Chain A
């Protein structure tokens, strides 16, 4: 339906994870699942934002644009990263 509300994304609060920057990768321990993830930018930044706000893809893109110089193709790439984070159990979509 055209007037359907957009999918929104949300991450657990920041204290649900423990992060350790390594190099280009950040190791993230997810306390609820006990799983370790290796993330690269912009995944840690996405998690940080979605820990505080439940946002749609476009709203998240706008938010990230405030801190990063994002090109137009970023929307598809961001959608792909979000899908990965959902599959990993770090982000929920509703």
Chain B
């Protein structure tokens, strides 16, 4: 590829190549404090490319590729090249990861204990993790929590925080000094802006944590807390894992061990302050 950058997020090394300079420059800037892949070997290669040569210049359209590809992945306009890169990196992880059980969850840590928050897009995973981090928790990630089948520990994957729509202002208000990427307006997921995790999250990203609480947050409802039965939590987490089936028995052992070892709780919340208070209260009670 004409332009390329390598970086490591948690234990995962990436090499991102692009037909265009702009997305790589944005990645270099936003990931400037991240280390290089271990031994300079990237686990995954990501490619941002023009399907036809003239598409580099005329209405430039970014196709997403790499070691793993989805044939139906729609191209994005070049002004959303950063989003294309992040989506492609996520895709490589989702389809390729074998060393860890990937849980589609955000995660924060305090005193070595991790709170995992899972849910559909819009449930508030990223916002909650960001707000908790602003109140002293260590941010571990807003997209994937990496569960190590060997140890049962959760490893951080603190990629850029993907904030959508009203979450952008909420996160900026909580963390006004955070570095931000460009506003990507009118993407397929609405307005998106990336926030760089704080220095502590990056410095400690190689430090795993012991899972302590599994939360299923749901935004837009009156505040409520409900214990989730283990079988329901197990089924929901098999659906929230992109590689549960691929991992086979180690994935089964890791996930049943996680569910058996920590409480699973659903929280409904009307606003972010309520959610943060609910999480703090649940953690204080344990």
Among A20, A24, A31, A34, contact of B256 (Cβ-Cβ < 8 Å): A20
The answer to whether B249 and A27 have CB atoms under 8 Å apart is: no
Tell me the residues in window 20-63 of chain A with beta carbons closer than 8 Å to chain B beta carbons. Answer: 20, 22-25, 27, 29, 31, 34, 36, 38
The answer to whether A18 and B231 have CB atoms under 8 Å apart is: no
Tell me the residues in window 146-162 of chain B with beta carbons closer than 8 Å to chain A beta carbons. Answer: none
Among A20, A24, A25, contact of B252 (Cβ-Cβ < 8 Å): A20
Size category, A interface: 10 to 19
Contacts of A25 in B (CB 8 A): 230-231, 234
Kindly state whether residue B253 has any CB partner on chain A within 8 Å.
yes
1/0 per residue, CB under 8 A from A, across B232-264: the answer is 001100100000010011001100110110000
Report how many residues on chain B are interfacial, defined by Cβ distance under 8 Å. Answer: 15
Kindly state whether residue B229 has any CB partner on chain A within 8 Å.
yes
A27 and B231 in contact, given A20-B260, A34-B248, A36-B238 (Cβ under 8 angstroms) = yes
* Assembled-state Cα–Cα distance A23/B230 (Å): 6
Contacts of A29 in B (CB 8 A): 249, 252-253
Say how far A61's CB is from chain B's closest CB, in angstroms.
27
The answer to whether B253 and A22 have CB atoms under 8 Å apart is: no
* Assembled-state Cα–Cα distance A24/B231 (Å): 8
Among B229, B238, B253, contact of A23 (Cβ-Cβ < 8 Å): B229
A20-B256, A27-B256 provided; 12 other pairs, C-beta below 8 A?
A20-B253, A20-B257, A20-B260, A22-B234, A22-B256, A23-B230, A24-B231, A25-B230, A25-B231, A27-B252, A31-B249, A38-B234
Which B positions have Cβ atoms within 8 angstroms of A? 229-231, 234-235, 238, 245, 248-249, 252-253, 256-257, 259-260
Which A positions have Cβ atoms within 8 angstroms of B? 18, 20, 22-25, 27, 29, 31, 34, 36, 38
Interface pairs (12), CB distance under 8 Å: A18-B252, A20-B253, A20-B260, A22-B256, A22-B259, A22-B260, A24-B231, A25-B231, A27-B231, A34-B245, A36-B252, A38-B234
